[in-house]
Every structure is written in C-alpha cells, then in structure tokens.
Structure 1
Amino acid sequence: MAPIASTTDLHKSGLSRREILRHCTPAGPWQQLLPGVVLQKPSPPTRLDRLRAVLFFAGPDSVITGADALSQQGASVPLPRHIHVLAGMNTRRSHPSILFERTTRPPEVVERNALRLAAPPRAALDLARRSTNPREVVAILDAVIDARLCSPTDLHQELDQSNRRGTALVRRALRHLYPLAPGQARLDHIRIGS
C-alpha cells in the first residue's frame, strides 16, 4: 500500500468515509496531510512525503519547482517552509504551505522519486526570480551549475523563453557570472526557434 493516498482513492478501494476519518484521528495509524490527502503511517511526514502529498492535492498536471525540485535533482539549496508548485491557469486550489504559481508555459518535467519536477533551468529561475537578495540569486545559479544539473547556456535559454516579470536581478547576475560568448546568443536563438 502506498504511503500517500487521496481520500477518493481510499473510498474507491472499499473504505468508508467514517473508516478513513477514524484512521486519521490522533490515535489512529494515519494522518491527513492536506485536505483530501492521507499519509498512511503514524510517523511524522518526511519532506518527500510532503512533496508527494502536495502533488496529490494540486492535481495531475502540477509540477514541483524551485528549491524542492533542485534539491531532489542534486543541488544544494536551502529549503523554504512552503513548497513551490506550477499549475495550469485553471487551477483554483490554495493552501498556506503551498506556493501555487499558475503558468501558461508548462515546464519540461523530470520524474524522480515518484515526483513530477521542473527541469533544473526552469526550477532555478523560478527560485531565483523570487529573491530580492543578489547574493542569494548568485548562490542559486552557482548551486545548479556546480551540481552539473544544467549549463549556463541552458539558464540563458530558459531566461529568454520565460516571462520577464521579476527577472531583472537574475538577468544581471547571469550576465555577470556566466556571460555568453559573442555570437552565442544569436546561435541559441536560432536553435530555439528552429
């Protein structure tokens, strides 16, 4: 039995709503992590449990981005209290522990540990553009490059394709840290457009 399940799936498997509620009482063997999402073990949830629960809650098209996506793929970045999730424009969900970002440009998805994660360039820029601290932005970009999750060119390409909102500091840091060679920007633009 999977440790994370939706109450809908549990009900379909034959458990009554009353049985599910009884299992989720303080003395029961399960716990409700989010509305409609149950952790089927009594021990405190791990970060991985929380990430899986968030994807159940956010829906089948949701993708984890930012610090958690980078950490799951091998970058050393601090994890915030909230979990950053990309969702479609029609998503109407909300929760205090989840940072929902509605997007019209779904990311490339990397599957790891039964999670849907944004590819490193997108996850790094989603995290960096929310920072107002230049040193923090530099640390994020360096962490992704140091972990060899992507190249500076990958970051430049992602930045060129992304919404410009909140990217001024990231653009400045990327140009300073990892400038493109002369002519490289033009070649990358041709490659993206072809």
Structure 2
Amino acid sequence: MTHNTPLSPRPRPLHALADGRRRLMTVAQLRAHGVSAAETNEQCRPGGPWQQVLPNVVLLHAGPPTGEERLHAVLLYAGRDRSSGTPPGAGAGRTASVPVQPGAEHAPVPACAEAVITGLAALALHGFAAAPPLPSLDVIDILVPRLRRLRTTGCARIVRTAALPTAVEVTGVPVAPVARALADAVAEPADPGTVRELLREAVRDGHCEPAAVVRELNRARLLSRPHVVDAVDSLVAEGRALAEQRLYRMVREHALPEPVWNVDLRLPGGPHLGGVDAFWPEQAVAVELDTRAHREQEDDAARAEYARKREHLERLGITVVHLTPRKLRACPEHQAAVVRTALMAAGDREPAAYVVVLPR
C-alpha cells in the first residue's frame, strides 16, 4: 500500500452508535457506519441491546419503542434511503425530515416523501382530539405508490395509491392532508361514533371543508357504507351551521347593513324563486352560501339547479353574491367588500322586480 492509497473509514464503536446521534437506523445506514450484517444480527439477538422493529429497521436500544419511534420506524421502512445504495432513479422524490426523537441530539433522520403517513396516525399528528394518541395505535398507516414492493408487517400497514397526495409537513413528518387521512381512517372498520366525531372535528375546527371530505370519501367508494352516510349527513349540517355563523359575523364585524336572514323569495301570485341566506330588499342583493357536499352523481343536477335559480333571480334584477365557506373562513374582509360593492352599485341599476320575502 502506498501513501496515496485511501484509508477505509474506521468503524464507530457499537455503543457510540446506540448512545449517540441516532436511536433508529436502517441496516444500510449501519453498514455505512462499518457495522456488518453479522454484527447487526448479533446485537439484535433475543435479550440483546438492539432490536429489529421492522424489516431492515433497527432500534438501537432495548425495551419497547415509543410511539414516536414506531412512527419513525415506519417512515424508514417505507421510505427510500439514499445512503443504502439504491440505484439512481429508484428513490426519486422529495425528501422530508423526521423530527428528532425524544432524548436524541442529532440531525433529523431522512425519510422520503414518497411514503406519507395517513389514517389515524396522520389525524393524531394534525392534532385531532378524537384520534387515538400515537402510542395507543397498533398499526400506523402509510401511503406509498401502488407499484412499490412493500408489504404490511408489524406496526406498518401499507396503503397503496395510484397518486400520492401532496404531503403536509407536520413537525417535519410528511403527512397526508386531512381529507385524505380521514378517508383512509374511515376505510378501516371503526366505531360509527368515532367516525362521526372525526368528521365533525375536521369541519368544526377548520381543518377542511365538508366538500373536500365528501370528495375523498366518494373517491374511496366509502359512501355506500351506512355509518359513513350518517356521518356525512352530520358533517354537512355542521358545515352549514359554521358557514352561517361566519356570514353573520362578517356582516356585523364589517358594518354592512343588516339583511333579512334565511328567506324564500317568490313573485306575487307567482312561482317560488328559491331560498337565499341573506337578502337586502331595498338594494335587491342576495347572498347565497354554497355548502353543497353532494355525491358525484348528484353534482350535475345540483349545479344545474343552482345555475337556474341564479339566472332567474338576475333576470328579475336581483344581484346574487355567491360565497363559499372556504372564502368566508380564509378572507372574510374580501367577501365583505364584494357584498358592499354589490350594495353600492344598486343605485346604478334598473329597479328590480318586486318579490315577496317569506321566512324560510
């Protein structure tokens, strides 16, 4: 050997790995630190200081893993580790950071965003009170592309999908958006009361809109299950009530004139024109909340009915302002400005037809 021959890296002592930067490592990461497969197997023997918690994932201490460690183990199992010698292109995808585990003082463990936490574990990370805490979950659901060669094992339950949703980063962990996580949680057998409470909490606490949840449930073909249908009915009612409260608050906080609320409009001696959520008779301006969360087969009919009613009212000279719950929650000041502009423009329009206003 000449003085130009590079030296092999000196393997780190096994106790330094266990006590130092990481408490979870893949077999490939251990090999990169100079720990052979035989040494890893020796350390993971029954009663040994390490344990293999999932295929190719080693917990570098004895005793049961914490809830956070099980979560990180699932991410390492399903993620593509770039230090493992994976062929170029096989591990393509954005990487995300797994947070530091309790008691560790190290850089985040890399986990590929091609593996996304979903189901009840994702809802727990999103902060759902109705979701069981991570330590109590027997399995952790993880979304992977359909063609990945992974199997459900141990605490990792593989959920395959044709297209991964855009992950939301929660404390550095790639997590499915709430609507998708809810659908994956509901797909597993669950207590109807828990399903109903999870869906209600999603809307009540502003995690997502009812329509987004129903779209995901419909995509997963879950709307044929009776307890899911019952929960969706409660969800839509909850979303409607919250949207109405936001509309009341918007009118009062932005000093708009007080309308008449929740009324039906009818031509004198003529047909029913439809109901609106707020109406200013002097200015002939109506506000209608779109809180639809219909199943896919109902969407065309519902859209046609909405369009027919709006066109009929506008032919009579009534301005219809169309608001969605998402807009009311995200930018109420902008929605108030839209309504105010419609009210101020009333003087420049031809007088509207006279309509009868009835309580709804």
Give TM-score, length-normalised by structure 2. Answer: 0.46
Moved more, 51-60 or 22-31: 22-31
**Shift in CA distance, 164/29, structure 1 to aligned 2, threshold 3 Å:** closer
Structure 1 residue corresponding to 2:163, chosen from 79, 83, 105 = 105
2:126 to 73, 96, 101: 73
What is the CA–CA distance in structure 1 between the aligned matches of 2:223 and 2:137, rounded to whole Å? Answer: 20
Identify the range of structure 1 (60-69 vs 70-79) with the bigger mean alpha-carbon deviation. 70-79
Relative to structure 1, is the Cα distance of residues 149 and 73 closer, same or farther in structure 2, using a 3 angstrom cutoff?
A: farther
Is 2:42 aligned against 1:22? yes
Q: Quote the sequence identity (%).
A: 30
Cα drift, residue 114 of structure 1: 4.2
Amino acid paired to 2:290: G
Are residues 70 and 134 of structure 1, via their aligned partners in 2, closer, same or farther at CA, if it must alter by over 3 Å? same
Distance 1:119 1:43, change over 3 A: same
Secondary structure in structure 1 of the residue aligned to 2:169: strand
Counterpart among 208, 211, 220 of residue 156 in structure 1 = 211
CA contact 2:203–2:235 (8 Å) conserved in 1: no
SS in 1 for 2:219: coil
Amino acid at match of 2:158: F
TM-score (norm 1): 0.81
Aligned partners of 1:5 and 1:81: how far apart in 2?
Answer: 21
Tell me the residue number matched to 1:41: 61
Structure 2 residue 141 is the aligned partner of structure 1 residue 84: yes
User: Is the 2:183–2:220 Cα contact (8 Å) retained in structure 1?
Assistant: no
**1 CA distance for matches of 2:206 and 2:147?**
31
Query: Residues 129 and 170 of structure 1 are in contact (CA less than 8 Å); yes or no, is this contact kept in structure 2?
Result: no
SS at match of 1:33: strand
Q: Which amino acid is 1:65 matched to?
A: T
CA apart distance, 1:105: 2.8
> Secondary structure of 1:135's match?
helix
Question: Would you say the 8 A contact 1:159–1:171 is kept in 2?
Answer: no
Amino acid at match of 2:138: R
Q: How many angstroms does 1:2 deviate by? A: 1.7
- The 8 Å contact of residues 74 and 155 in structure 2, kept in 1 or not, is answered as no
Structure 2, unaligned runs of 5 or more:
1-20, 80-111, 241-288, 293-302, 304-322, 328-360
Distance, in Å, in 2 between the alignment partners of 1:129 and 1:19 is 41
**Residue type at the aligned position of 2:197:** A
| Structure-2 separation of matches of 1:24 and 1:117 | 30
Task: Summarize deviations over 1:103-157 as a string: whole Å, max 9, x none.
Answer: 12312312234422112222122212334643221022134345x3603x1x422
What residue number does 2:28 align with?
8
Q: Which moved further from structure 2: 13-22 or 73-82? A: 73-82
Q: Which residue of 1 aligns with 2:290?
A: 183
| Relative contact order higher in (CA < 8 Å, ≥ 6 apart) | 1
Distance in 2 (CA, whole Å) between partners of 1:64 and 1:133 is 21
1:38 Cα deviation from its structure 2 partner: 0.5
